Structure 1
Amino acid sequence: MTTLLTADDLRQSLAEDARTGLSASPKWLPPKYFYDERGSELFEEITRLPEYYPTRTERALLTERAQEIADASDAEVLLELGSGSSEKTRLLLDALDRTGRLTTYVPVDVSASALTQAMDALAEERPGLVLEGVVADFDRHLGQLPTPGRRMIALLGSTLGNYDRPGRARFLGSVAAAMRPGEGLLLGLDLVKDPGQLVAAYDDAAGVTAEFNLNALRVLNRSLGADFDPDGFRHLARWNAEEERIEMRLVAQDPARVELSELDLVIEFDKGEELLTELSCKFRRDSVAGELEAAGFRDLRWWTDPDEAYALVLAKR
């Protein structure tokens, strides 16, 4: 396993982002810090909730269309950004294996423990498959990822939706710059739909997503010596119709003074003040095609479920 991102690197990145985002107006935090061990457990629980359709819809699409995707990709290597448990990836690996071209799987994640666990399981299941796990932040290390053959780079779970439009342009441009001509990019994308269905997916009746959102404060408490009181904040999921995105926020229930001792930083919250913790942009086919083409991609292939709730998109560099 290759390590491009150490625990110290991750903590330094968190410190820089926390200082910048919490000092901003309005306040914000990037969502990647949700995913400590507890956050990852909570997200796995979210994916099984009745309100949260994206994971099961994406899995159903992969079950039905993975072979078409594998055939169209012409890939020898599957490189997955934000691989996590690599559960859905097995559908793609099976399909790529049937093409006779697959040699290597490159899972990329910020969590060394998640990578180790996933690769140990895959090594038992697929002894002939070369595994090259990389501990990395794909916002920083795209150009340093392995190229052991012609790749299909996968970014599933509508993770692209965590970037606003300017951020997507930068990210897609960076991905394109790190790819060789003929390599493929596979995206899972959540599509624009009824706002009620969208809000319910991020504000479930059991309160699991709320706990997941509040876990960001516990990460700051543990990692940066902060003294957030999670009980002093409530979870909010709001549909922004103009930007066509869900915004997850934490709302201060009362005025609060928070000290982050390791940053020598004190932050004040007014009652009702909001902290933006995640964007989840939703997509339309025409706009996605325009963004990909602007970044240097071509030959777009598009697969959707019968309700057109979710899409898989394969584009070539």
Structure 2
Amino acid sequence: MTGHFDLTRRLPDGYFTDALHTDVLKGLTGRPKTLPPKWFYDGRGSELFEEITQLPEYYPTRAEHAILRERCDEIASATGARTLVELGSGSSRKTRLLLDSLLRHGTLESYAALDVSTDALREAGEQLRREYPDLKVTGCVTDLETDLGMPDGAPGPRLVAFLGGTLGNLDGDARPAFYAALHSELGPGDALLLGADLVKDQGVLVRAYDDAQGVTAEFNKNVLRVLNRELGADFDPDAFQHVSVWNEGEERVEMRLRSIRAQAVELPALEMTAEFEEGEEILTEIAVKFRRAALAAELACGGFELSHWWTDGEQRFALLLAEPAADRPGARPLSP
């Protein structure tokens, strides 16, 4: 049997252009100024993030991989998944541990990768098709903020993986909406495998987002290059300083771009000028860190029951398995 890879799009033509225009106009006219982190990820941004995951300061990838390596057979046994669905799959590098365990367990029939990046999906999907010729491999280009894009007709039980601590990029309003949307898609026997970075020493956290080599700084500034290319803007990346700070009240790391001088940036595609005072910042990413009790309660409110909680040896990162609880009133889809 020869494997095949099917790639579909759930987004209308012009979706990303329209979304970029909306996000930038709203973000750069707000107070404080903001830009969503999804606009980091053009081809160059994806390459930079892969570099970040290899940096000595960036522990989450290594910690999560260590947990997966130790617990993947336990996950396969607990779920018996016939379909593995990965949200925000990217390169699908860590996915192979789950695929191998589920295949050894004898249940897995299909893998569905969901991501906003067509290029990342195609590259990873074709590679997986070659490595797992007997496995049905599909990809779906979708924006997880508005449409989870769960595959139709995928055999259950299904295991939905949301790894890498990406949950922390969602703020306190977006996470309940995410849980509700996912809960509405899952049924008895399905499960959620969730990666969550944990609250720890402030210095360790900040350094993970401000490495000595400056790779994260380049990644942060890449959003300005995306705006220059897509909107005809004239941002000077060297006129902004990468900043990583710990927000104690929200228990999250924040990445910001700080204007090193007063300046005006033209964005012709939006027919606007963005004015910056010296020292004014753009909030480009949040990375919420979690505590077990609070996250378990948050999941319960979203309709999920925590069944397994695993951490690495240094208690830096958690991988957890949760099951959808019985249907509850008030579930709502992601905001349009």
Q: Quickly name the TM-score band, shorter chain normalised.
A: over 0.9
- Same amino acid, percent of matched pairs: 54
Distance 1:111 1:243 in 2: 29
Deviations 1:33-81 (A, max 9, x none): 1010000000010111110000011111111111111211221100001
- Residue 4 (1) aligns with residue 10 (2): yes
Deviations 1:231-272 (A, max 9, x none): 100000000111110000000000111111111111101100
SS at match of 1:132: strand
Change in Cα spacing, 1:157 to 1:7, as seen in structure 2 (3 Å) is: farther
Which residues of structure 1 form unaligned runs of 5+? none
8 A Cα contact 1:108 1:136, kept in partner: yes
8 A Cα contact 2:183 2:303, kept in partner: yes
Instruction: Please show how residues 177-188 of structure 1 align to structure 2 within 5 Å.
Output: 177-188=184-195
Specify which of 206, 215, 219 is matched with residue 199 of structure 1.
206
Specify which of 318, 321, 324 is matched with residue 314 of structure 1.
321
TM-score scaled by structure 2?
Answer: 0.92
SS at match of 1:51: coil
Instruction: Please show how residues 39-188 of structure 1 align to structure 2 within 5 Å.
Output: 39-142=45-148, 145-150=151-156, 151-188=158-195
Distance 2:134 2:288 in 1: 38
Change in Cα spacing, 1:74 to 1:22, as seen in structure 2 (3 Å) is: same
Change in Cα spacing, 1:49 to 1:144, as seen in structure 2 (3 Å) is: closer
Name which of structure 1's ranges 4-13 and 71-80 shifts more when overlaid on structure 2. 4-13
Letter in 1 for 2:261: D
SS at match of 2:173: helix
TM-score scaled by structure 1?
Answer: 0.98
Specify which of 286, 289, 295 is matched with residue 282 of structure 1.
289
SS at match of 2:134: coil
Name which of structure 1's ranges 66-75 and 21-30 shifts more when overlaid on structure 2. 66-75
CA RMSD of aligned residues (A): 1.1
Specify which of 263, 283, 301 is matched with residue 308 of structure 2.
301
Distance 2:255 2:203 in 1: 15
SS at match of 1:237: strand
Structure 1 residue 132 displacement after superposition: 1.5
2:4 alignment counterpart: none
Name which of structure 1's ranges 179-188 and 281-290 shifts more when overlaid on structure 2. 179-188
2:3 alignment counterpart: none
Tell me which protein shows more helix as a share of its residues.
1
- Residue 256 (1) aligns with residue 230 (2): no
Deviations 1:139-192 (A, max 9, x none): 222255334112111110100000112211111111111222321111111100
2:235 alignment counterpart: 228
Instruction: Please show how residues 231-246 of structure 1 align to structure 2 within 5 Å.
Output: 231-246=238-253
1:23 alignment counterpart: 29
Change in Cα spacing, 1:175 to 1:97, as seen in structure 2 (3 Å) is: same
